[in-house]
């Protein structure tokens, strides 16, 4: 038996753990007992499941979607688990892509553009004991140490690779919480439960499968997931089971070994799932307000400031309303304190900086904030570019003569930049922006300008040219009046999303 496990660990393939299969009891719950409404399931998720089933593979909707269906909620995402390997899944769909190294999964894509749907399909995994896994010393970034391995752990027990295929029983055993370890077959409408997830859902309990401390060591990110699920389900009366809760404060230091890019993604999930304010309160309640991830520490620290609190509340409302959100706007608000401090110091020549022009001062401040607060993480490219545009657009709002207003209102990120300007007018005084009232008036002007037709816009620009020069609201010298040029376009080409939705 040991020889067989070693072969599976090093060579890949499928295995069902006899020990686990005997220990677990498969409970099949009929529809008249679980009461799941099949109409709440995305038809394309059902199509994905049935395509795999028709090809002879055991396949279910799994995880949080089943939990939400059981509670009568409409799931946002539908994850799918199957006995098919990633390569077998990929062959069955026109648009399917195998992703990931640590956990190899398949993204099955329907539709295109902004209306496309992605369904995550994972292969049943074996619950290989950590003692039977290959222990890798040193950094996970050393890819050569992981080559050829399908299951590997580091010295603390954290799983580095987990691509040993198994059966549904072993797959259920390796999931995190009982309420997330149920399987639903939309064809037969049977719900499969191995760990009492249905009973825990009725009792409103969030319980870890297995020994909690060991499971947190396997994957420290489960600490963040526990916080997220606790905050998300708190409004439905769910609470963390005491044994699941107890090890969390003691093991938070394990998160320092998680790659920064993964922690960055988990941080965004925490504040973009519609329960950011509740998640932050949960972190504080568990004594996790500091020391988990530097940028998350900043968000928690500033969550009670007017600007960040308003942004988090707006983000929660947008998520609940089914509207899109984007991390660029969220982080632009959180880090504005750092940007404006550096911008002011460089613009005014405060030590240790020499006085430089306002646009250069802002650009240098933005660069410094990226280096200090965000660092080198995956996704920084597009996310950083969007944040930079939001910040660098602020001085441009002061230029309201000539063709500048027409060009700016047609900018792809105008709406995000404008919403940020408006938020500065509402909350800027907290950052020491003494001219917050002038910024608010400037935001009102731009609101009228974007709502106006072409002739009204021209009249507004002429009115600005006739006004005496006033102190700059953004720190930029007022632009000199110029002859009005015919704009290339008087319509915004932005995506029309407000606030965090850009």
Kindly state whether residue 323 falls inside one of the protein's structural domains: no
Domain of 14 in residue numbering reads as 1-203
Structure tokens at 223: 């600490």
Active-site residue flag, 176: yes
Indicate whether 199 and 230 sit together in one domain. no
- Please give the helix or strand (H or E) that residue 159 lies within, else none: strand 159-162
Indicate whether 20 and 78 sit together in one domain. yes
Identified catalytic residue from 42, 79, 219, 386? 79
- Residue 419: per-residue pLDDT: 92
The CATH number of whichever domain residue 386 belongs to comes to 1.10.3090.10
Q: How far apart are CA 273 and CA 312, in angstroms?
A: 11
- Please give the helix or strand (H or E) that residue 390 lies within, else none: helix 380-392
8 A C-beta contact, residue 204 and residue 236: yes
Beta-ladder partners of 152: 134, 161
Name the phi and psi angles at 203, rounded to 5: -80, -5
Structure tokens at 198: 């249905």
Alpha carbon distances (Å) from 394 to 340, 359, 438: 11, 10, 13
Give the pTM: 0.75
Q: Which of 419, 400, 367, 383 is nearest to 469 (CA)?
A: 400
Name the phi and psi angles at 14, rounded to 5: -110, 140
8 A C-beta contact, residue 159 and residue 219: yes
Q: How far apart are CA 107 and CA 295, in angstroms?
A: 29
Indicate whether 272 and 165 sit together in one domain. no
Kindly state whether residue 324 falls inside one of the protein's structural domains: no
Structure tokens at 188: 């037969």
Identified catalytic residue from 171, 176, 193, 316? 176
Q: How far apart are CA 354 and CA 350, in angstroms?
A: 7
Tens digits of pLDDT across the chain (502 residues): 334 433 333 334 444 433 443 446 899 999 999 999 999 999 999 999 999 999 999 999 999 999 999 999 889 899 999 999 999 999 999 999 999 877 889 999 998 777 789 999 999 998 765 444 444 444 444 444 434 434 444 544 455 445 689 999 999 998 999 999 999 999 999 999 999 999 999 999 999 999 999 999 989 999 999 999 999 898 889 999 999 999 999 998 999 888 888 898 899 999 988 899 999 999 998 889 888 899 999 999 999 888 899 899 999 998 888 888 888 999 999 999 999 999 999 999 999 999 999 999 999 999 999 988 887 665 557 888 899 999 999 999 999 999 999 999 999 999 999 999 999 998 877 666 768 889 999 999 999 999 999 999 999 999 999 987 765 555 544 434 433 444 433 333 333 333 444 4
Sheet holding 134-135, edge to edge: 134-135, 151-153, 159-162
Residue with tokens 């306002």: 358
Q: How far apart are CA 59 and CA 423, in angstroms?
A: 47
Indicate whether 137 and 257 sit together in one domain. no
Kindly state whether residue 209 falls inside one of the protein's structural domains: no
- Residue 489: per-residue pLDDT: 36
Kindly state whether residue 452 falls inside one of the protein's structural domains: yes
Indicate whether 191 and 77 sit together in one domain. yes
Q: How far apart are CA 18 and CA 315, in angstroms?
A: 47
Q: Which of 159, 286, 298 is nearest to 223 (CA)?
A: 286
> Measured on CA atoms in the order 368, 374, 380, 384, is the torsion positive or negative?
negative
The CATH number of whichever domain residue 189 belongs to comes to 3.30.460.10
Q: Which of 194, 209, 229, 277 is nearest to 71 (CA)?
A: 229
Residue with tokens 């983000």: 315
- Residue 200: per-residue pLDDT: 95
Sorted by sequence, the CB contacts under 8 Å of residue 216 that are 6+ apart come out as: 222, 223, 247, 248, 251, 254
Indicate whether 303 and 338 sit together in one domain. no
Sorted by sequence, the CB contacts under 8 Å of residue 273 that are 6+ apart come out as: 228, 232, 279, 319
- Please give the helix or strand (H or E) that residue 455 lies within, else none: helix 454-466
Kindly state whether residue 3 falls inside one of the protein's structural domains: yes
Identified catalytic residue from 77, 185, 265, 297? 77
Kindly state whether residue 212 falls inside one of the protein's structural domains: no
- Residue 24: per-residue pLDDT: 67
- Residue 347: per-residue pLDDT: 92
Looking only at the bridges linking them, the beta strands covering 159-162 and 105-110 are unpaired
Kindly state whether residue 417 falls inside one of the protein's structural domains: yes
Indicate whether 376 and 462 sit together in one domain. yes
Indicate whether 458 and 333 sit together in one domain. yes
* Alpha carbon 227 to its chain's center: 14
Last residue of a domain, one of 141, 174, 203: 203
Q: How many domains does the chain have?
A: 3
8 A C-beta contact, residue 295 and residue 269: no
Sorted by sequence, the CB contacts under 8 Å of residue 346 that are 6+ apart come out as: 353, 355, 356, 360, 361, 364, 365
Structure tokens at 43: 């038809």
Active-site residue flag, 39: no
- Residue 147: per-residue pLDDT: 44
Structure tokens at 265: 């993604």
Q: Which of 97, 122, 123, 91 is nearest to 110 (CA)?
A: 97
8 A C-beta contact, residue 45 and residue 60: no
* Alpha carbon 487 to its chain's center: 38
Kindly state whether residue 146 falls inside one of the protein's structural domains: yes
Structure tokens at 19: 């020990």
């Amino acid at each position: 038996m040991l020889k067989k496990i070693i072969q599976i660990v090093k060579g890949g393939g499928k295995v069902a753990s006899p020990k686990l299969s005997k220990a677990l009891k498969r409970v099949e719950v009929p529809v008249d007992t679980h009461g799941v409404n099949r109409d709440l399931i995305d038809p394309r998720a059902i199509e994905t499941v049935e395509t795999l089933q028709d090809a002879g593979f055991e396949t279910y909707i799994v995880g949080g979607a089943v939990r939400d269906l059981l509670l009568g909620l409409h799931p946002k995402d539908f994850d799918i688990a199957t006995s098919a390997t990633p390569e077998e899944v990929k062959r069955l769909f026109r648009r399917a892509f195998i992703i990931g190294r640590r956990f190899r999964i398949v993204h099955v894509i329907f539709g295109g553009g902004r209306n496309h749907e992605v369904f995550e399909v994972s292969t049943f995994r074996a619950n290989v004991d950590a003692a039977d896994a290959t222990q890798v010393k040193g950094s996970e970034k050393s890819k050569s140490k992981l080559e050829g391995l399908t299951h590997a752990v580091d010295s603390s027990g954290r799983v580095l690779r987990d691509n040993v295929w198994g059966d549904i029983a072993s797959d259920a055993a390796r999931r995190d919480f009982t309420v997330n370890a149920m399987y639903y077959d939309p064809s037969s409408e049977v719900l499969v439960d191995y760990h009492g997830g249905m009973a825990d859902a009725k009792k409103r309990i969030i319980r870890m499968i297995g020994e909690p401390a060991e499971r947190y060591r396997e994957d420290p990110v489960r600490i963040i997931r526990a916080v997220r699920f606790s905050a998300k389900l708190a409004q439905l009366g769910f609470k963390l089971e005491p044994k699941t809760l107890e090890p969390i404060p003691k093991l938070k230091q394990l998160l320092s070994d998680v790659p920064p890019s993964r922690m960055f993604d988990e941080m965004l999930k925490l504040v973009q799932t519609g329960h950011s304010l509740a998640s932050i309160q949960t972190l504080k309640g568990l004594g996790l307000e500091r020391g988990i991830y530097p940028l998350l520490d900043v968000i928690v620290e500033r969550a009670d400031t007017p600007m960040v609190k308003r942004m988090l509340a707006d983000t929660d409302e947008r998520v609940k309303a089914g509207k899109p959100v984007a991390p660029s706007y969220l982080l632009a608000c959180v880090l504005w304190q750092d940007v404006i401090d550096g911008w002011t110091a460089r613009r005014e020549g405060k030590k240790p900086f020499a006085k430089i022009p306002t646009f250069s001062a802002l650009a240098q401040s933005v660069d410094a904030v990226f280096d200090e607060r965000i660092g080198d993480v995956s996704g920084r490219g597009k996310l950083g570019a969007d944040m930079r545009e939001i910040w660098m657009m602020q001085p441009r709002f002061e230029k309201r003569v000539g063709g500048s207003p027409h060009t700016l209102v047609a900018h792809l990120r105008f709406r995000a930049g404008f919403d940020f300007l408006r938020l500065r007018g509402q909350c800027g005084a907290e950052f020491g922006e003494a001219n917050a009232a002038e910024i608010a008036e400037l935001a009102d002007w731009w609101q009228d300008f974007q709502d106006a037709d072409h002739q009204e816009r021209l009249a507004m620009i002429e009115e600005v040219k006739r006004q005496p020069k006033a102190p700059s609201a953004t720190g930029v010298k007022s632009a000199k009046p110029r002859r009005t040029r015919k704009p290339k376009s008087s319509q915004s080409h932005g995506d029309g999303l407000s606030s965090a939705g850009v």
